Amino acid sequence: MKPYAEMSREQLLEEKAGLEKEYQKIKELGLDLNLTRGKPSPSQLDLSMDMYDLIYSGARLIAEDGTDCRNYGGLDGIEEAKRLMAGFMDCDPQQVIVHGNASLSIMYDTIARSMTHGVLGSTPWCRLDRVKFLCPVPGYDRHFSITEYFGIEMIPVPMRADGPDMDMVERLAAEDAAVKGIWCVPKYSNPQGITYSDETVRRFAALKPAAEDFRIYWDNAYAVHDLYEDDRARLLPIMQECEKAGSINMVYQFCSTSKVTFSGAGFSAMAASIENRDSIYKQMAVQTIGHDKIKQWVHTRYLKDMDGVRRHMAKHAALVRPKFEAVDRILSRELAGLGIGSWIKPKGGYFICFEAMEGCAKSIVAKAKEAGVTLTAAGAPFPYGIDPHDSVIRIAPTFPELEEMEQAAAVFACCVKLAGVEKLLEGV
Amino acid sequence: MKPYAEMSREQLLEEKAGLEKEYQKIKELGLDLNLTRGKPSPSQLDLSMDMYDLIYSGARLIAEDGTDCRNYGGLDGIEEAKRLMAGFMDCDPQQVIVHGNASLSIMYDTIARSMTHGVLGSTPWCRLDRVKFLCPVPGYDRHFSITEYFGIEMIPVPMRADGPDMDMVERLAAEDAAVKGIWCVPKYSNPQGITYSDETVRRFAALKPAAEDFRIYWDNAYAVHDLYEDDRARLLPIMQECEKAGSINMVYQFCSTSKVTFSGAGFSAMAASIENRDSIYKQMAVQTIGHDKIKQWVHTRYLKDMDGVRRHMAKHAALVRPKFEAVDRILSRELAGLGIGSWIKPKGGYFICFEAMEGCAKSIVAKAKEAGVTLTAAGAPFPYGIDPHDSVIRIAPTFPELEEMEQAAAVFACCVKLAGVEKLLEGV
């Protein structure tokens, strides 16, 4: 089929009539599919259930250093948990602080602390007239919610094939001391699945921000979430690059075992320079007596080391990969050559990012919803929920069963075509 | 023996010589006992180990409402967890928000949120020149650390036998709009073990603070921690009293399963009016996707309901009671009639509070330390760590084994006597 943009009004009308019939049939199926969030499927969660066979009434929940994991204490986590998370984050275990069940909470806390107490002695951000954050777009909506909640002005920075537009990042960070940080998902980025190139990572490490309290928020959420064992993206370790560049205080790294074992019932960690870490300890000592060490104990006994993590993640990949491939296959079959949308086929992570024709995303999401397929709201991957081109849609293929995902992808493709035809007819 | 204060200089010197010999002998024992924190003993932790027999590879971790507890979601907790915590807090399950492993973190969060976002639309506290908190003393050091961390000025309010000095609380709250809250441990208070009287609770509910954003921080940490099944302290439910008084927005209540199952590896909760709750939800939705529901699942299956909790706590009491009674017995034997110290024999909670002669607490703690018995720092139960009379010492009897506790109590008594004699000799 030829590109829609090259069709005459008559051809478009004819196409539209066919699509409307198809759309009507879909609606009659009464589907109820939810593709909104990056949630593991029940089958993925089943993969880790044997972890709990390690804890039973007779188990000795004692850490390597003799700590009773059932009692209070151990503010920064047991050593073996730090070591495991250091493997996720390619850093020194000494740089790791182990936290509770959600890395999002660490990020929230880190921003909240900067608001009330500043960063390593800097002026608390709540006393400044303006605080700004750089936000590579499309990005992770929950990152943007945190900065929005604290009244931090968000500046979108376009994503390229190898990471954020670094010319823009360098310029904005260097020229404005109100710019205090940047949100990054450097590996299998949410939602595009892009992994930052070595060059991009090195340029991050070499940043010369005007603000002494500028920090890179390096959310390595998908550090081990490869779809292909023989074709893994390789992310240059940011902390090592920062060490080399003399900028180790400039980066905070985050990760968690969510989507490795149980979402929201694992543990998370932050990595930071020793100076940053010690400053964070001071707050943590006020905030908590310590995080759940039983979970740290069982996770480290179960996953053991990075080889164990890789083996476990390969099981996830076997379940998830067919869903990603189904989306790619169906979109290719339905949309190739029509010129009404594009997407990146990711090698890992949790999302596929679809870029529709300008002005079509909201319409596609609404049509899909009407046909029983709920997608993440159009605009969600942008600060303040505003996609200036109304074109980006995030697809989360992991949660539905394969057959459901195939069905949803076909519905989605129909909606994309219908929205595209309608858009073009407006202009003809 | 007659009171030290009635002894002549010669009698005191003779007593001192005897005590010094005894102290020397103790030091030669090379003891290493730690009575600093309110930690359960390993035997207490053993009580809950069979809880984990409920989770194994074949278990179905599904909440009553069908929620898969292994996956994301459920911001405010599963219904059965809310219901259980409502039992702890004598309130409506609808008022409960379930959190992570530490109620301390909820309190920290609540203060932090008030700093940056105010309370139900009030001016964020970080924009005010002065923010003050009322602090019943002696009190819980970790409460005071939170307010100190945020630069909140702490005003000590003396504890009476039935709770804080309510005349003072009423006056300070009513006359100064900078007074934004009060820290309370209303049942088996930390460190005195005092339970607020009905009258005190009603006066709290009837407070008319000048600040609209004044909140009572009602830390019901020892709600179920009775030492005597047949002699339980009864705390009037604050939320019901506030409902009656039309002041339900004025109170936040906190509790947790720490010291019920595993310290730091259970879950915690907050209770608040529906209006407060909904406002807190908005922040939580930014901060986390949800807390650990697997822990909620297993705790609710294990403890079941308040009857189950009572039965479980009776097992704790059987282990803890002899230690509390040993301290009381040994202190009575060693110190009765000497006029150099007093203590309350608590019916529950985790502490015994010793009140030494003025100016003796630091000396006693130092002497005990030298003899191998580490106590909570003198001054710790006061804002900024300053006990104006240098007289209060918190004893935490739960962690050591019974025999160790007996030994430690004897050492403590010797140090009290020695410090007392020394003090009196200064003045003779």
Residue A72 · residue B263 · CB < 8 Å:
yes
* DSSP-assigned letter for residue B187: S
Nearest residue of B to residue A117, measured between CA atoms? B150
CB within 8 Å: A72 and B37: yes
Partner B contacted by A108 (CB < 8 A):
yes
Task: Give how far A422 is from chain B: nearest CA, Å.
Answer: 36
CB within 8 Å: A57 and B50: yes
B265 vs A contacts (CB less than 8 Å): 69-70, 292-295
Residue B26: CB atoms within 10 A of its CB come to 21
3-state helix, strand, coil in chain A (%, to 5): 45, 15, 40
pLDDT tens digits, chain A, 428 residues: what are they? 799 999 999 999 999 999 999 999 999 999 999 888 889 999 999 999 999 999 999 999 999 999 999 999 899 999 999 999 999 999 999 999 999 999 999 999 999 999 999 999 999 999 999 999 999 999 999 999 999 999 999 999 999 999 999 999 999 999 999 999 999 999 999 999 999 999 999 999 999 999 999 999 999 999 999 999 999 999 999 999 999 999 999 999 999 999 999 998 999 999 999 999 999 999 999 999 999 999 999 999 999 999 999 999 999 999 999 999 999 999 999 999 999 999 999 999 999 999 999 999 999 999 999 999 999 999 999 999 999 999 999 999 999 999 999 999 999 999 999 999 999 999 76
Exposure class string for A17-41: b at 16+ Cβ within 10 A, else e: eebeebbeebeeeebebbbbbbbbb
DSSP for A72-132? S--TT--HHHHHHHHHHHTS-GGGEEE-SS-HHHHHHHHHHHHHHH-STTPPPGGGSS--E
Residue type, B220: N
Using CA atoms, how far residue A234 sits from A96, A325, A333, in Å, is 21, 21, 30
DSSP for A161-189? TTEE-HHHHHHHHHH-TTEEEEEE--SS-
pLDDT tens digits, chain B, 428 residues: what are they? 799 999 999 999 999 999 999 999 999 999 999 888 889 999 999 999 999 999 999 999 999 999 999 999 899 999 999 999 999 999 999 999 999 999 999 999 999 999 999 999 999 999 999 999 999 999 999 999 999 999 999 999 999 999 999 999 999 999 999 999 999 999 999 999 999 999 999 999 999 999 999 999 999 999 999 999 999 999 999 999 999 999 999 999 999 999 999 998 999 999 999 999 999 999 999 999 999 999 999 999 999 999 999 999 999 999 999 999 999 999 999 999 999 999 999 999 999 999 999 999 999 999 999 999 999 999 999 999 999 999 999 999 999 999 999 999 999 999 999 999 999 999 76
Partner A contacted by B53 (CB < 8 A):
yes
Partner B contacted by A129 (CB < 8 A):
no
Strands (DSSP E) contained in B107-187 are 132-137, 153-160, 163-164, 179-184
B350 vs A contacts (CB less than 8 Å): none
Using CA atoms, how far residue B100 sits from A257, B159, B401, B419, in Å, is 16, 31, 30, 43
Residue B332 · residue B413 · CB < 8 Å:
no
Which of A45, A53, A262, A268 should one mutate to test binding to chain B, selecting the residue with the greatest count of B CBs within 10 A?
A262
CB within 8 Å: A37 and B263: no
Partner A contacted by B195 (CB < 8 A):
no
CB within 8 Å: A291 and B264: yes
Partner A contacted by B262 (CB < 8 A):
yes
Give B276's contacts (C-beta < 8 A, 6+ positions apart).
Answer: B120, B249, B252
Q: What is the ipTM of this complex?
A: 0.96
Partner B contacted by A277 (CB < 8 A):
no
Exposure class string for B121-151: b at 16+ Cβ within 10 A, else e: eeebbbebeebbbbbbbbbbbbbbbbbbbbe
CB within 8 Å: A40 and B71: yes
Partner A contacted by B264 (CB < 8 A):
yes
CB within 8 Å: B262 and A289: no
B294 vs A contacts (CB less than 8 Å): 262, 265
A117 vs B contacts (CB less than 8 Å): 149
In terms of phi and psi (left: phi > 0; alpha: psi -120 to 50; beta: otherwise), the region of A298 is: alpha
The 3-state DSSP class for residue A376 equals coil
Task: Give how far A191 is from chain B: nearest CA, Å.
Answer: 18
Euclidean distance between CA atoms A91 and A270, whole angstroms: 11
CB within 8 Å: A71 and B263: yes
Euclidean distance between CA atoms A134 and A157, whole angstroms: 7
Backbone angles phi, psi at A354, to 5 degrees: -105, 130
A57 vs B contacts (CB less than 8 Å): 49-50, 52-53
Residue type, B390: D
Euclidean distance between CA atoms B282 and B75, whole angstroms: 10
A150 vs B contacts (CB less than 8 Å): 116
Q: Hey, which residues 291-320 in chain B have their CB within 8 Å of chain A?
A: 291-295
CB within 8 Å: A70 and B263: yes
DSSP for B351-367? -EEEEESTT-HHHHHHH
